[in-house]
Structure 1
Amino acid sequence: MAKTYVDKDTCIACGACYSTAPDVYDSDDEGYAFVKLPGGTEGFVDIPEEFLQDAMDARDGCPTESVKWED
């Protein structure tokens, strides 16, 4: 199963990931992205199959490559 997390050190709060995959990513009070799935603030998180394509699109659309991926 694929896993994802957001590198907050490189995130520029552009909103690309959470507008592309709102079931997987969200923004904090400052606009920085995080994985909103259970455990999302603790590291890599499993992506449910039904959200996988949107999550891949979010990863591919991140201008700073802050959306990280692990197969």
Structure 2
Amino acid sequence: MRSGQISFLRNSGGEERMTTWVDKDTCIACGACGATAPDVFDYDDEGIAFNKIDDNTNTAEIPDILFDDVRDACEGCPTDSIKVEE
């Protein structure tokens, strides 16, 4: 998990993989994650962020082309609400 810490995951082929979700209890709806990784994060009716790839369930792997965007969004989150497993 990441918001300062990383756990590395590998798929059965030994390749790096990543999943992510947003802690909706701590998200302050600042919009930083959606600006940084718009292909991954969106907002609900209250402006709270969520992972739109898997509806914030942390079940779908993020495409590797988006890894850097997700890492940047995680590092830029002022409340450490973005959680990343990689």
Instruction: Report the equivalent of 1:28.
Output: 44
> Is the helix fraction higher in 1 or 2?
1
Within the alignment, does 1:63 sit opposite 2:58 as a pair? no
Question: What is the identity percentage for the equivalent residue pairs of Structure 1 and Structure 2?
Answer: 54
The one-letter amino acid paired with 1:33 is: A
Gap runs ≥5 in structure 1: none
Change in Cα spacing, 1:57 to 1:31, as seen in structure 2 (3 Å) is same
C-alpha RMSD over aligned residues: 1.1
| Greater gyration radius | 2
Displacement, 1:41? 2.7
Aligned residues: 70
Q: Contact 2:19–2:58 (CA<8 Å) still a contact in 1? A: no
Distance in 1, matches of 2:28 and 2:41, equals 14
Runs of 4+ in structure 1 off by over 4 angstroms are none
Q: Normalising by structure 1, what TM-score?
A: 0.90
Q: Normalising by structure 2, what TM-score?
A: 0.76
